[in-house]
Amino acid sequence: SSSFANITTLPPDPLFGLSARFKADDRSSKVDLGIGAYRDNSGKPWILPAVKLAEKKLQSDNTYNHEYLPISGHQPFTSAAAKVILGSDSAVIRDDAVVSIQSLSGTGALHVAASFLNKFYTAGENEAARKTIYISNPTWANHVQIFESVGMKTAQYPYWDADTKSLDLKGFLAAIEAAPRGSIFLLHACAHNPTGLDPTQAQWKQIIKAINDRGHLPIFDSAYQGFASGSLEADSWAVRYAIAEQSKTQQPIFICQSFAKNVGMYGERAGVIHVISPDFKNKNAFQAVSTNLQKIIRSELSNPPAYGAKVVATVLNSPELYKQWEQDLVTMSSRISLMRASLKLALDKLEGQTGGNSNWEHIVSQQGMFSFTGLSALQVSRMEKEHAVYLVSSGRISMAGLNEDNVEYVAKAIHEVVG
């Protein structure tokens, strides 16, 4: 019998499978609203002007080479990255109380957090608290398998109220209270994927307080900083607030930071895992966390990829390029906002013409890369079959796939399948 008799062929990954079907479709009207990658107004991938300048600068530097990075990564990258998420005036940075280790983008940071917590986390009140990660319902499809693949369990907290298309704050807070003390909660720092719906600052305050009151450990997944509002400060508000409130708890905070979307470094895998802990006043505790994270990295990838880290470091450490990057973030986030407004306008117009009464307000109130349209799986499948408009079965659309040339076509398709 086969050496691998107990495995069977898996279906394609839902998202990458969708993208393969899109590529194979020869209808000229086809629109890809699947994967969360920015596209410009002509539907093309966009290399940020800040990145182009950084690449030029890097390669003209005569110390540039392809040597291995240290296990912990490219230090000019990891320390500048900490400033991006925590603020350049951050007290924990000033106190040298942040462990920052380079990772394979956001996914790698989450994976390293998962492995580390699975091995070393002891503060939960019982085995369930120590080995369960609470994720939002719904969440990014990969979260479940990232944590389950290292042997942790996942549990869901309520997040999206489908009837009102708004945050189920009551359910969220109740889940925080019901979880055993010291449980682990995964939070989306901004631009929640897939719903595009973030808590308000007042709601975040309640969420963080509830988490601290129960002694839970928060992990912030920060994959869209600056991409949601166009402002790095606004999009890191929740993380910085949680850090400011950390004195009320003994728990560390983990941040899994990706530069895939906000610097457009998707395939270069530039990310960082940061850990901030009240323990780090004790240098031994700091070193223990840092070296054990590095041991995980050493056994899995030996040392992280250099190119993306060097490009991002060049952007972050040059005042001119940083300014250019901030402009690029505004370029991307405002084109997406414009597409939100255009899609809603086109849908409202169609509703007006046909006397329909669907409410599309959520398209403009949501933010970030995605919109959770409320389309059913059946409607999504009709979008693909009948209109060549590709989106994932949850009804999430990547707003960046819209542009001036296709937005009315997409609105018509949505109107037709909903109608």
Query: Which stretches of the chain bind ligand PLP, using CB under 6 A?
Result: 36, 105-107, 140, 188, 193, 221, 223, 258, 260, 271
User: Does 46 participate in catalysis according to the annotation?
Assistant: no
Q: Is 345 exposed, middle or buried (0-12, 13-18, 19+ CB in 10 A)?
A: middle
Active-site choice (32, 168, 198, 221) = 221
Q: If we measure between CA atoms, which residue out of 268, 292, 273 comes closest to residue 106?
A: 273
Supply the minimum distance, in Å, between the C-beta of residue 395 and ligand PLP: 16
Q: Which is nearer to ligand PLP, 80 or 265 (CB)?
A: 265
Supply the minimum distance, in Å, between the C-beta of residue 258 and ligand PLP: 3
User: Helix, strand or coil for residue 326?
Assistant: helix
Active-site choice (131, 165, 261, 310) = 261
- Angle separating helix axes 319-354 and 407-418, nearest 10 degrees: 40
User: Does 221 participate in catalysis according to the annotation?
Assistant: yes
**Residues 89, 91, 95, CA angle at the centre, nearest 5°?**
120
Supply the minimum distance, in Å, between the C-beta of residue 33 and ligand PLP: 14
Q: Which is nearer to ligand PLP, 140 or 160 (CB)?
A: 140
Which residues, 6+ apart, have CB-to-CB distance to 144 below 8 Å?
135, 154
Residues 108/269, Cβ–Cβ less than 8 Å = yes
What is the C-alpha separation between 192 and 190, in angstroms, rounded?
Answer: 6
User: Does 204 participate in catalysis according to the annotation?
Assistant: no
Active-site choice (32, 46, 140, 328) = 140
Residues 407/342, Cβ–Cβ less than 8 Å = yes
Q: What is the dihedral of CA 152, 153, 159, 160, to 10 degrees?
A: 110
Supply the minimum distance, in Å, between the C-beta of residue 86 and ligand PLP: 18
Q: Which is nearer to ligand PLP, 124 or 401 (CB)?
A: 401
Q: Which is nearer to ligand PLP, 312 or 350 (CB)?
A: 312
Q: Which is nearer to ligand PLP, 37 or 410 (CB)?
A: 37
Supply the minimum distance, in Å, between the C-beta of residue 7 and ligand PLP: 25
Catalytic positions are 140, 221, 261
